[in-house]
Amino acid sequence: MKILITGCAGYIGGTFAYEALKKGYKVIGLDNFSNSNKKNINHIKKTFPENFTFFEIDLLDDNLIKKFKKHTDINSVFHFAALKSVPELDSGTCPAYRDLEEFQRPCWARDRRTTHRI
């Protein structure tokens, strides 16, 4: 089974990806590194080179999402990409609705016929 994980470089998304890979799932990870670390992704890539694919992508960038649409064999989507602090939300550059809009992007990018759970 192949799963898509947004926010894959963050603490929760990265831990979830690692545990899913340990259980034998194939994982496609997405993150824009706005508040996460590439070190986490490098560790997962080294540990699970055959079953882990990663894309540095901002879910609000239409051009990158269109390129990503070729992955039509995704069974489940797990959305962990989010802002993690009130100051980030209050800064004015990251409106609160961004998290909801980011969630909708992987939903329309997936193939609705083969993705069974979100």
Instruction: Fill in the amino acid letter for 38.
Output: K
Confidence at 118, pLDDT banded by 50, 70, 90: very low
Task: Flag whether the pTM goes above 0.85.
Answer: no
How far is Cα 103 from Cα 51, in angstroms, rounded to an integer? 23
Given a cut of 70, whether residue 38 has pLDDT beyond it is yes
Sign of CA dihedral 101, 70, 58, 41: positive
Which domains are seen in the chain, by residue range?
A: 2-109 (3.40.50.720)
